[in-house]
């Protein structure tokens, strides 16, 4: 199939590469000329394991091209897939301006039958709006004769950064919302070769499913954080509680890691957007308001913990391990780590940070006064405390005896409980986790 994908971010690029592996020809379009130029040279503009090799292979095979010129590739397309960002507005709704802009562009240039597919996470009703916008632009452009041939399908994406391509190639389910059998069949054809569970449903259900999935996961994290807070006050251990309740198949073990809470480019915006969607339909989604409040408060509690032990942070040297919102990515959007680094710095701390992949991305959003170290150990040089904010697995491989010799005071605040099994006390550290 000939596909045009609009937006070459984490989702658009991963999907594009995945579809080339399934035998399709993909034209990737982005408004960011720098990104397109980089991709054209075979460079991935962000850190995501496994993409480079597939990009090289696809470019060699001629199955992928990159352009900023939508019109130049649209005429060949059988399917146009939208994967642009839908970040939060200042009031917490999904910002649809990128998507609607892309839709207008498509409508302006479209001169034949295609299936439009929305992979971006969007509020209920958005797919139909995108279709309307495309058809309106076609009509303005004198192609009203073709508008009835243009259909739309909602294809929410569930991949996780850090394992994006693997998730794309082996999804736990594919959810597709459409109005007719032809659209379902085209989406099936698009994914031929992937074994998975299909959920074929209405457009509205598919749109809501994506938000429900992310809100559920955010709620699970938030729930265990509340249990962690009770554990701290009662002398219980949240790790054991999480393990024990996770053995119950009705609950399951994942997303039960207590810590400083969720962040990232999806959960915060999607939880807010779902609350807004509910509100716009006259329903007060109280649970999600609590999730947002508890998640924010979790960072306050962690910061207070540091202040309770260290006192005034002014002029205190603090090592930070981890800036990405989670391991195996360089994505720092809405990262809890970034927020905490900002707050430590605002309180006067001298912050020396390390992250295996996210330093460059962090530099773009953090104040200039933050310093960065080339290794985890170097970040701890002369530090009065080490604060762990992202659970990169390699942090567990650090030589803790060396670490201790480099720090001024051997105190570790572990915001992800990821060093709990490293027995830091044995090396002479004071170890402070969350809920343990």
Ligand X SMILES: NC(=O)c1ccc[n+]([C@@H]2O[C@H](COP(=O)([O-])OP(=O)(O)OC[C@H]3O[C@@H](n4cnc5c(N)ncnc54)[C@H](O)[C@@H]3O)[C@@H](O)[C@H]2O)c1
- Closest to 66 in 3D by CA, of 36, 43, 23, 44: 36
Which span sits near ligand X by CB under 6 A: 81-89, 245-253, 362-370, 393-401? 81-89
Which span sits near ligand X by CB under 6 A: 27-35, 136-144, 216-224, 250-258? 27-35
The answer to whether residue 321 forms part of the interface with ligand X (CB under 6 A) is no
Question: Smaller CB distance to ligand X: residue 220 or 328?
Answer: 328
Q: Provide the CB-side half-sphere exposure for 48 (13 A, CA).
A: 27
Rg value, the chain, Cα: 24
Single out the residue of 40, 71, 98, 163 in contact with ligand X (rule: CB under 6 A). Answer: 98
Single out the residue of 20, 86, 219, 257 in contact with ligand X (rule: CB under 6 A). Answer: 86
Does 363 count as an annotated binding residue? no
Does 429 count as an annotated binding residue? no
The answer to whether residue 120 forms part of the interface with ligand X (CB under 6 A) is yes
CB 82 to ligand X: min, Å: 9
Contact 376, 353 (CB under 8 A): no
Question: Which residue among the candidates 206, 266, 271, 320 is catalytic per the annotation?
Answer: 266
Contact characters 31-50, ligand X, x per CB under 6 A: xx--x---------------
CB 15 to ligand X: min, Å: 9
Which span sits near ligand X by CB under 6 A: 77-85, 217-225, 285-293, 417-425? 77-85
CB 374 to ligand X: min, Å: 27
Does 119 count as an annotated binding residue? no
Interaction residues for ligand X, span 218-277 (CB under 6 A): 265-266
Strand partners, 4: 27, 80
Does 304 count as an annotated binding residue? no
Which span sits near ligand X by CB under 6 A: 8-16, 299-307, 353-361, 415-423? 8-16
The answer to whether residue 320 forms part of the interface with ligand X (CB under 6 A) is no
Report the alpha-carbon distance of residue 382 to residue 410 in Å, rounded.
Answer: 10
Contact 322, 390 (CB under 8 A): yes
Single out the residue of 8, 126, 209, 276 in contact with ligand X (rule: CB under 6 A). Answer: 8
- Is 28 one of the annotated active-site residues of the chain? no
Which residue in the shown chain puts its C-beta closest to ligand X?
A: 9
Question: Smaller CB distance to ligand X: residue 120 or 257?
Answer: 120
Does 267 count as an annotated binding residue? no
The answer to whether residue 85 forms part of the interface with ligand X (CB under 6 A) is yes
How far CA 188 is from CA of 175, 198, 199, 359, in Å, comes to 11, 9, 11, 40
Single out the residue of 11, 39, 228, 388 in contact with ligand X (rule: CB under 6 A). Answer: 11
Does 259 count as an annotated binding residue? yes
Single out the residue of 3, 4, 5, 9 in contact with ligand X (rule: CB under 6 A). Answer: 9
Nearest-10 Cα torsion for 208, 123, 4, 74: 140
CB 120 to ligand X: min, Å: 3
The answer to whether residue 30 forms part of the interface with ligand X (CB under 6 A) is yes
Does 269 count as an annotated binding residue? yes
Report the alpha-carbon distance of residue 195 to residue 250 in Å, rounded.
Answer: 25
The binding site for ligand X (CB under 6 A) comprises 6-12, 29-32, 35, 83-86, 98, 101-102, 120-121, 157, 159, 161, 265-266
Q: Which residues are catalytic?
A: 266
Annotated binding site: 30, 35, 86, 121, 158-161, 210, 255-259, 263, 269, 326, 333
């Amino acid at each position: 199939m000939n596909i045009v994908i609009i937006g070459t971010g984490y989702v658009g690029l991963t999907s594009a590469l995945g579809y080339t592996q399934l035998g399709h020809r993909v034209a990737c379009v982005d408004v960011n000329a720098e990104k397109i130029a980089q991709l054209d040279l075979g460079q991935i503009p962000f850190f995501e394991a496994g993409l480079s090799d597939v990009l090289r292979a696809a470019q060699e095979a001629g199955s992928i091209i990159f352009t900023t010129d939508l019109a130049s590739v649209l005429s060949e397309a059988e399917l146009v897939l939208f994967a642009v960002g839908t970040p939060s507005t200042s009031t917490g709704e999904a910002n649809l301006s990128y998507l609607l802009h892309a839709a207008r562009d498509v409508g302006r240039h479209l001169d034949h039958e295609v299936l439009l597919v929305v992979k971006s996470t969007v509020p209920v009703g958005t797919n139909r709006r995108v279709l309307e916008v495309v058809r309106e632009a076609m009509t303005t452009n004198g192609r009203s004769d073709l508008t009835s041939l243009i259909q739309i399908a909602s294809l929410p994406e569930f991949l996780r950064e850090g394992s994006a391509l693997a998730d794309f190639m082996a999804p736990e389910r594919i959810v597709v919302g459409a109005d007719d059998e032809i659209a379902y069949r085209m989406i099936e054809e698009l994914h031929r070769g992937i074994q998975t569970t299909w959920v074929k449903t209405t457009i509205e259900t598919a749109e809501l499913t994506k938000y429900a999935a992310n809100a559920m996961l955010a709620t699970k994290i938030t729930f265990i954080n509340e249990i962690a807070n009770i554990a701290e006050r009662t002398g219980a251990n949240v790790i054991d509680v999480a393990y024990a309740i996770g053995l119950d198949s009705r609950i399951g073990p994942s997303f039960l890691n207590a810590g400083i809470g969720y962040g990232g480019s999806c959960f915060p915006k999607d939880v807010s957007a779902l609350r807004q969607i509910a509100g716009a339909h006259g329903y007060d989604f109280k649970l999600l308001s609590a999730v947002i409040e508890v998640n924010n408060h979790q960072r306050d509690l962690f910061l207070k913990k540091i202040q309770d032990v260290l006192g005034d942070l002014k002029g205190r040297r603090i090592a930070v391990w981890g800036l990405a919102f989670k391991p195996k990515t360089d994505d720092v959007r809405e990262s809890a780590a970034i927020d905490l680094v900002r707050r430590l710095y605002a309180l006067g701390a001298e912050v020396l940070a390390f992250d295996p992949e996210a330093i460059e991305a962090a530099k773009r959003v953090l104040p200039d006064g933050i310093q960065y170290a080339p290794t985890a150990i170097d970040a701890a040089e002369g530090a009065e405390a080490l604060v762990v904010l992202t659970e990169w697995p390699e942090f567990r491989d650090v030589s803790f005896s060396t670490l201790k010799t480099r720090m001024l005071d051997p105190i570790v605040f572990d915001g992800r409980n990821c060093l709990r099994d490293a027995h830091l006390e044995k090396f002479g550290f004071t170890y402070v986790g969350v809920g343990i």
